Structure 1
Amino acid sequence: MSEPNENQENILKMRWRPKQLIWRIQFDIVSIFIILICTFSLITSFYTYYTNSRELTDLSFLVTEQANTRITSTVGDITNQAVLLAQVTKGMILNEKDVSGENQTLISYLLNLVSREFSISNVAVVSREGNSVSVINLIVSNQLYYHLDPSKELPSGSQYALRIVTRTGPNPSEVWEYKDNNMNTIATETIPGIYYDPRGESWYHKVAEWQHMHWQMMPSALSGQEIVSVTSPLLNSEKKVFAVVNVGLSLDQMSNVIALQTVEKTGRAFVLSSDGEIIVPISQNITQQDVFPFVMKQAYEQYAKTNEGKFLITNENKKYLICITEYSLEFTDRWLIAVVVPFDDFFAPIFRIQKQTILISIAILIFFIFLINFASKHISSPIVKLAGVVNRIQNFDFQEPPKMKSRISEIIVLDSSIRSMGNALQSFGRYIPKEIVKTLIKQGQEIKIGGERRELTVLFSDIENFTTVAESFEIEELTQTLSEYFEAFSKIIVNSEGTIDKFIGDSIMAFWNAPGPVVDQGSKACLAALQCLKITNNQNETNPFLKGRTRFGIHSGEAIVGNIGTSERMNYTAIGNVVNTAARLQTLNKIYNTSIMISEPVHEKIGTRFITRPLDFIVVKGRTKGITVFELVGLKEEGKELSATPAQVELCTSFTKAYEMLLAGKMEEAKASFSALHEKFPSDTVTQLYLERLHSEARKKNT
């Protein structure tokens, strides 16, 4: 067993001093552990609340889903009954002659059918020749007036109407017989002539065309109220429609039936169309104060997005359980059966008790937080101070810290160890440079080599005759002036979202669209070049170093951009043909005596916002394909700081026309235009260059 060192012996002596109590950190850990038990109780309470809430929510959804199933079944009973009635009615008709006002068997059957089925608003049988027999439930259809004379009320006790349209035979007619509850005729109405052709109804056309059953929403021909009808065709031996049966369902009656289906305390049921319109209940049964239609609209929007049938929504700080199922009508559209139930309808008292329990638990938790805060100071305060000492040592601040005061033996040992470490590092720093030591201490993420292909706009700048001018200046003056030059240009490039790649002697390389994307990169590069050019023009009188002109080359294309170099040293830069081309364009300014030369890809990017003129079609060194290059002069918009002068606009416009003549092979016309342009702008080098080319070409032809 090893002998205790000096520090451990001192600690043991301090521990047994009668006037100064020292305890281990274990004591604080035990104290905190007791508090954690209380915290665990709170966590358990929250977990219980969460679990119960989830279980209660699942149970609530189950109840809502069961209600939805009941209502879907009710809607199915009503619609299936209508289909069944239509099919049974078809059995009463063997041929077209059976669709007649003389067929008392059919009439008696239809009257009995409508009187027996409360949800049926009307039944109609229409033949291919336009004859029809129909029965309307006046009460369900809310029909109170004569059909021919809407201002005249029907006799008291009128409950059904028999409508017979006869279009064949010697006496075409339309007759209305109004009947009481016992099917006795109490009023008759004959319409002179025949104005109504049931074959003009949309439901007749669709069934006659499709030859299968069809459901349709439509307004009642009598009351205008919305009804839903099912139409079924009758086919002869040649598989052609010779008659159809139409059964109309009253949405009002369907609303009343669905309303009888209880959905908890205040829940509601809805029937929706496929596009979310409320079919049931009908709009007349919805009040302005009713919030459920707004909740239903919100629920449908979420259902349309997620296609989930069960979910919770919140409307005006109130939760609702939603259950939506699809109900398909044969051969046609689908309905949505929706049930909306306020969340408070389910187990509200239980949630109220749980919330009260949570509030009590929170109060207990707050009490223990203060207790934990008080106890933790015995540990955290010395540790924070020691962390500060370590941080200063990391920054090579070896100022002697005050001695740590604590009764926790582990902190006393830690304080002693940190002091020893500081002394050792201070001594170590006398043998090895501090920067190397700092690098060994600090930790960071290593930058890795890598890049990506990206569309860039690259700019190169260069000071004309820089080497000649620089020889006449002292080093201090040269570096100062060049630094001012770089500072001014760099601000413009950075403010235009450009990235400075590097400074190469007196040149600047910059690019746009990396590392971050830049919208309208070509225009921003051109604006930056114009602004830089303006600075040099303004400084030519006061800054002797900038008397020479700065030339710019701008090109756009795909490049590789990223961290390029070695594991020991790397730069964030761009490489590729686009970089080489931009550098070559900058150099070519010497030939044309221009300041800013841009490539054809840049010219296409900037559109018509700038004043430019074509310079030439060239093949840049290192490329096999030629490109058209342009001179950038200024902004097209007048009155701006960087706007081209009227003379520049005239020169570029006239030059472009002459250049286009030359491209079109109109040599003499181009020569005349260039000559006229030279007389007006004798100092324009590009115009002189093209005149010399034309004269040289002419001399070759003559020889």
Structure 2
Amino acid sequence: MNTPGPQQHRRLSPLHVHRTLQVNILVAFATLLIITVIIIVGYTYQQNSQAILNLSRDLIAQVTETVIERTSNHLLPAAVMAQTSAQIPAVETMSLVQNVELEAYGMEILNLYPQLSGFYIGNEQGEFLFTKRFPDGSIGTQIIDRSGDQPVRTWTYRDEAGNVTNVEVTTEFTYDPRERPWYQGAKATRQQYWTDVYIFFTDQKPGITAAYPVLDAQGELISVVGIDIALDELSQFLATQKVGKNGHVFIINNREEVVAYPRISLATQEGDAFRLTNITDLHLPVISAAYAQHLAATQTAFTINLEGVRYIASFTPFPDTFGQDWDIGIVVPEDDFVGLIKQTNRISLIISLIILAFSIVLTIFLSRSISRPIVLLTAETQRISDLRLDSNLEIVSPIREVQTLVESISSMKTNLQIFKKYAPAELVRQLIQSGDTHDPGGQQKELTILFTDIGGFTHLYQGTLPEDLMQQLSEYVGELTTIILEEKGTLDTYMGEGLLAFWGAPLPTHHAYYACRAALLGRDQTRRLNQEWRAAGRITFPIRIGIHTGETLVGNIGSNQHMNYTVVGSNVNLAKYLQAANDLYGSQILVSAETYHQVADLFYFRPLDRIAIKDNYPTNIIYELMGEVGHTPQEVEELCARFHEGFAAYMRGEWDTAVSIFQALAMAYPQDSATQLYLGRSLTHYASPPGPNWTPTTNLEFFNQPRILA
């Protein structure tokens, strides 16, 4: 692995976390779309809502103005007719009892003004003339006569045509006009007087009275003319004033009494009596809450929230010229105006979300079409950085720049594939993984060196076509190279028909083990190749391998223009000597004692000799590698075991024992060259024993001409 640099260790902030290109494109598009939808929908809703709210305020103002105008017009005839009637001379002089002209006058007034419910006159003597319209259109006249010993009240009822339908006379009554609010108010003010809302005595319904005093020349009160206006018609009129779908329009006085409200009774019964309906009697919490806020904050227009619903409230006083301390109240849910806008906005939002979802899906496909070639290119460049150039680059992108990059990388890959044939790609890959600086220089490390060669190659190629020989040699070297690389080895160089490889650098491994495995696999693969070539009538390659483990100088040798990662030193030469010594013993794989001691429990070996090579290598035993434990035939195991016994007897000078063992082995393995060699040596020493200072040693001083000292 590469050693992480400072940039790799630096912790990235959440905003700079590396994400895939597809995610970045998707996030960018989705964010842009979401922001666009929010801005458009939000702005449209805000503008439309504001426009509707402005319109609602105009509507409330218009309704308020209409109600004030209609109420004023509704009450005006009562004031005018009360004043006009008070100025009729007959009212000043005529008796109220048996006064047919006044009765007719009162009925005519009621016929002219349908909103007037009663016309009456009361005087200081307690006489009373009252003309009243009933709901069915009939008219009744009440006269109270106090001229006798006992007051008498007479009710005369007429149908719509004016015909008398009934007359009721009674002395049992308590009504006295002089005690009524309208009479007392006009008497006290000596001018036109409007009563507060009160319950009419006759029908127990709320209403108001316009009263005007009749005075004599001295200013003394003679009588009072009064005209009643029931408030039912005002309530009916308010029912026609629509403010929104669920709006409330009402009139309220300063005593929190309801003057007019659609569809409810304005009189509340308590026992046998009636009183005016209070605002709390409406059982509408929103109206009570709005009026309370109006009183507390003296606001005329405001909004109020109740139980999660937002209301628009308006309280507008009647003008001072009206003569009554009344307010027109309007309370309407805000959704009555903006509800449709909200619904439209929700629909728009849903449509926008659907469009957004489709857009995101399209963005996913678009981002994938953009990012997939780049992702594939990234993976390809990663493989190229690892010098893995075997895959085919088949990438097509609709984006010109990306396609140009694809073609450039493909061309680079082709060039690298050519270059790879001349450079050890696996070595370069291992150097990259090891974190080597790749500068000239080296270090001393324990390595296992492997040398291979083909025995008698100089004589083999004579009589063989060069093309055929090169083809065979390439196949042979290719197989060995593959095995070495698969067994974690580093290929140093090719030397004609031979090659040099080592283990333990640049990557630390169980170098002796992998080197021995590679040697066995190479031997077995060469045997298979030889069988094929022999069957095809071609020459065969007798492989020779030498393996040694020791401290070796390894590193980069060369210049900035060309460099080789290689091993040098005496231990490399020893592996080469061991490879050549195979010809002496008829073996294929020779290993040094240093290699043997590291993997003795993992492979089957047999000792072949004690060797000496000038002063470069101390005298030591060399071994032949026969097979791997668990993967070797039984006869090879037995051969190694018996050969160990014979070799030990030979080294101890026990010639008879050595001869016996090697004779038995020679009969069992007649083709085994090492057995034949030691059988001959044992017989020689058995016939002519050496002296007491005898030490068997083979001198490998000369590369191709080892000299036997024993």
Please give the TM-score of this superposition, normalised by the length of structure 2: 0.41
| Structure label with greater radius of gyration | 2
